[in-house]
Amino acid sequence: MSMIRIAQAQINTTVGAFHENSSKITRMIEKATDQGADIITFPELSVCGYPPEDLLLKPDFLEDNLKALHMIREKTGKTAVVIGHAHLLDGRVYNAASVLQNGRLKATYHKVELPNYGVFDEKRYFTEGARATVLEVNRTRLNLTICEDIWIEGGFQERVSREGRVDLVLNISASPFHAGKLDVRHRIASRFALKSRAFICLNNLVGGQDELVFDGGAFVMDPRGRVVAQAERFDEDLLITDIRFDLHGRTRPLPHDPSSELLVPIEPCSRQRDGELSPTMAREYGRPDEIYRALVLGTGDYVRKNGFRKVLIGLSGGIDSSLTAAVAVDALGPENVIGVTMPSQYTSGETLTDAEILADNLRIKLYRVPITPVYEAYLKATGEIMDKERHGVAHENIQARIRGNILMAISNQSGWLVLTTGNKSEIAVGYCTLYGDMAGGFAVIKDVPKTMVFELSEYVNSSKEREVIPATVISRPPSAELRPDQKDEDTLPPYSMLDAILHAYVEEDRAPEEIVEAGFDRETVKEVVRMVDLNEYKRRQAPPGVKITPKAFGRDRRLPITNAYLRTLR
């Protein structure tokens, strides 16, 4: 019988912040050493942050990344450290994991499977590795892998790990969030555990990076594919787990190709331990809960990591701006969120009152800037160029752009970041105004369908056990209030129908004919598809926003603006 104490440091890094990342890493190493850990792992590319994108093409970035790695190496002791970084070797760049102990670099593993789909572009930057790295400590063997290495069924690392050749698989990961992603990771790791008959220790990154959110949730899985320990999600954590192995009668088959596997001996920590640790199992999250926490984490990190302290939101009294404000307050605190209500001649007293009630409920400062005088001045200045009948999209967009202009002017004056409030349903079909409600620095609910906006708003009130978002905001039919008695459904299908069609067309990439065959009205599908295809130019100019679905606009779905292949019903 053998036992190893594994520490998994789930940390929130910032791309390019080498000093801050290194300091955080060394503090975690000290903490794990104090608790007698034999090995501590850190997430994928944790030295430089993930994803560094085209920074990897800059030689000085790669050099600074290796300098930081060696600074960390010099501070290591008995606890072996497995840490992710970029590795420049013989003119090639690798996604690497190095093993550090007692001030020495003991080995470096290069990621074999490089993802190149969805949000991933790793083949643009990295060269594939070709050799496994197996650590040996206390008569047990631990195979070192990086993220995608365990996702490929029948792949290189599965062949290395199976047939009893290793006892545990260490996986350092930067797996971005979408709703339900943790269950996907569990399924992938369970398959790998069953195939290899080994424990899996998957350590995932946590934090926001531009559109991406990494939800953490590091876990230990036994050889039967059961999660036996799990870290917190959406927060930094240090998961320490004692794992026992029965090595009696275990044989060690040699690799078919000895050059494909490096065996690295690791010294156990040898620090006195106060008994065996009980496994830690963090709380589970439901769907609205995990989505809301992802929005909070992504918003807070984007604001803070880009050097802002406060944010500015146009509060219309509608549900989208109300949810955005609630997320911002939870991410940054009420003292750092400022609302501006900008009523026009079409703004109802009810929505104006709801904006004020919401601000009171959230305890945020609210400014009131009426736009009717500006609108009238705009029409006067344009003279006969503009139609004075005050109807049509042009007049609606003037109002939206006046509001966007006011918000950006305040932002320029104060240094506060403007948060836009458009949802995925509106952005998908272009029901938004360039340089108007799309003007801002970060789009909090950009990837949240309208039906989910309603669900999350209900969640906010239930989780706070009080009415934060006024009930009238949730129950009132959505309206842009840019013309008399306007309702969204004057222009769009009911959101329950629209979101279902958008899910099929955008996220599942189903053909219009298939969507009609699924039971949707032919003319409705035709019009929705037309709007989605024609509004790529708007989406390309939108600010970044938190990804919470499997296929978000932007990094996930990349289509040409100039495009004669518009998909429609034949």
Predicted confidence (pLDDT) per residue in 92-109, tens digit = 999 999 999 999 999 999
Distances (CA, A) of 234 to 115, 214, 220, 292: 23, 7, 17, 10
What is the CB neighbour count within 10 angstroms for residue 67? Answer: 13
Q: Is 347 helix (H, G, I), strand (E, B) or coil?
A: coil
Taking residues 393-415, report their average pLDDT: 94
Cβ atoms of residues 407 and 418 within 8 Å:
yes
Q: Distance between CA 344 and CA 348 in Å, rounded?
A: 9
Residue 304 has pLDDT above 80, yes or no: yes
Q: Distance between CA 112 and CA 130 in Å, rounded?
A: 6
Cβ atoms of residues 358 and 331 within 8 Å:
no
Told to judge if 48 belongs to the known catalytic residues of this protein, a careful annotator would answer no
Cβ atoms of residues 45 and 52 within 8 Å:
yes
Check if 2-246+259-265 and 287-486 are the same fold.
no
What is the CB neighbour count within 10 angstroms for residue 111? Answer: 27
CATH number of 287-486: 3.40.50.620
Q: Is 311 helix (H, G, I), strand (E, B) or coil?
A: strand
Cβ atoms of residues 189 and 200 within 8 Å:
yes
Pair of tokens at residue 310:
């406060």
Predicted confidence (pLDDT) per residue in 154-187, tens digit = 888 988 887 657 999 999 999 999 999 999 999 9
- Indicate the angle between helix axes 495-502 and 522-534, nearest 10 degrees: 70
- Indicate the angle between helix axes 372-382 and 393-414, nearest 10 degrees: 120
Helices and strands (H, E) in the chain, number of each type: 17, 20
Distances (CA, A) of 160 to 96, 106, 133, 148, 366: 18, 20, 10, 15, 60
Cβ atoms of residues 456 and 469 within 8 Å:
no
Displacement of CA 466 from its chain's centroid (Å):
28
Question: What is the per-residue pLDDT for 518?
Answer: 95
Cβ atoms of residues 175 and 181 within 8 Å:
yes
Told to judge if 147 belongs to the known catalytic residues of this protein, a careful annotator would answer yes
Cβ atoms of residues 505 and 532 within 8 Å:
yes
Identify the helix (H) or strand (E) that includes residue 212.
strand 212-215
Local confidence band at 117 (pLDDT 50, 70, 90 cut-offs): confident
Least confident of 22-31, 344-353, 395-404, 444-453: 344-353
What residues form DSSP beta bridges with 136? 141, 265
CATH number of 2-246+259-265: 3.60.110.10
Q: Distance between CA 290 and CA 467 in Å, rounded?
A: 20
Pair of tokens at residue 167:
């006892």
**What predicted TM-score, i.e. pTM, was given to this entire model?**
0.93
Local confidence band at 558 (pLDDT 50, 70, 90 cut-offs): confident
Q: Distance between CA 273 and CA 467 in Å, rounded?
A: 49
Question: What is the per-residue pLDDT for 489?
Answer: 76
Residue 485 has pLDDT above 80, yes or no: no
Pair of tokens at residue 261:
């596997």
Taking residues 216-231, report their average pLDDT: 96
| Domain segments of the chain as ranges | 2-246+259-265, 287-486
Displacement of CA 194 from its chain's centroid (Å):
29
Q: Distance between CA 326 and CA 315 in Å, rounded?
A: 11
Higher pLDDT, 397 or 73: 73
Among the listed residues 24, 113, 147, 158, the single catalytic one is 147
Residue type, 195: K
Angle value at C-alpha 568, between 563 and 570, nearest 5 degrees: 130
Among the listed residues 24, 44, 305, 424, the single catalytic one is 44
Q: Is 566 helix (H, G, I), strand (E, B) or coil?
A: coil
Cβ neighbors of 61 (< 8 A, separation 6 or more) are: 16, 48, 52, 55
Among the listed residues 24, 106, 111, 446, the single catalytic one is 111
Residue 273 has pLDDT above 90, yes or no: no
Cβ atoms of residues 12 and 26 within 8 Å:
no
Handedness of CA 501, 503, 504, 510 (dihedral sign): positive
The one-character DSSP state at 365 is E
Told to judge if 44 belongs to the known catalytic residues of this protein, a careful annotator would answer yes
